[in-house]
Structures are given as structure tokens and as C-alpha cells.
Amino acid sequence: MASGVTVADACKKVYEEIKKDKKHRYVVFHIKDEKQIDIEVIGERNSTYDLFLEDLQKAGPQECRYGLFDFEYTHQCQGTSESSKKQKLFLLCWCPDTAKVKKKMVYSSSYDALKKSLVGVHKAFQATDHSEASQEVIEEKLSPPTDSKNIST
């Protein structure tokens, strides 16, 4: 916790509600008064990824946020015709290029404190614009690598 920002107990509680109880689809966190990471928005279980991105960015183009999303996708294992449903929790640090430098620094330096308090998150990403946080990009990052890619020598 190099920034001195702490994580509110409510953050850990809602994380467990997403991870174990599957009560919510996502949660958006913000740093309150430059002292504590707290909950800003909780997404209902039937919420979409687009709604998550909307909530993540609704504070404005100069605001950073953290988002935790319970991502569900279909994956087809190589060599099989069957696809299986997968679920992975990921944490996203949203720091748009348009945010002020000080704000980006506080969010970046506090990110580790949040990651450490949310044990069991599959992956953690940082995004500075919509293309880095798109559903396609996140799904690609969460999916296991396949050997079927053409490699030229």
C-alpha cells in the first residue's frame, strides 16, 4: 500500500458475494477522499458487460475507477466439438488517458492493495481506453492459449 489508500471492508464483502454466492455480476470501486477504496456501483446478476463499461466510465473522462467482473464465456477445447461454459473473475484498473496525472498515479499505486485484498481474482488488467477494455479483448486475455495459431518460420 505505497499510496496509503486502504480497502473498505464492504469491498471484500461484495467480492465474496460475487465470487461465492453469485449475487452480482460486477462491482465498480472508487477511491473516496484519496483515503479508501470503496464501492460505487454494484451490477445485478443479469447485467451485461456493456453496462459494466458504462458504469465504469460514468463518472466522466477524467476519472479513474476499478471494476471487478464475473465474466462468463463459452470455450471450445482444442480437438473437441463440445464447448463448455467458463467463468472467470477479473479486475480492471480503468485510468483513461484524459485523467489527471495525480489521479492516475493514486489509482495505479493503490491497485496492488485492492488486488491483494480480493484473493481468487483470475486476472488483473489495466486499460486506458475503450479498445483495451472491450469484451473481445478481455475474452481473448481470459481464454487459454490455443496451439492452432499459424506460426510462420
* Inside any domain, residue 150: no
Predicted confidence (pLDDT) per residue in 105-125, tens digit: 999 999 999 999 999 999 999
Predicted confidence (pLDDT) per residue in 133-152, tens digit: 999 999 888 876 654 444 44
How many independent structural domains does the chain possess?
1
Range of the domain at 135: 6-142
Q: For the domain that residue 83 is a member of, what is the CATH number?
A: 3.40.20.10
Count Cβ atoms below 10 Å from residue 108 Cβ, excluding itself. 15
Count Cβ atoms below 10 Å from residue 133 Cβ, excluding itself. 21
Q: Are 91 and 29 in contact (CB under 8 A)?
A: no
Partnered with residue 83 across adjacent β-strands are: 76
Partnered with residue 147 across adjacent β-strands are: none
Mean pLDDT estimate for the chain: 89
- Across the beta sheet with 36-44, the strand order is 6-7, 36-44, 24-32, 65-76, 83-94, 123-127
* Inside any domain, residue 119: yes
pTM (global) more than 0.85? yes
Query: Higher-confidence residue: 123 or 77?
Result: 123
- The set of cell numbers assigned to 80 is 473437441
Q: Are 107 and 93 in contact (CB under 8 A)?
A: yes
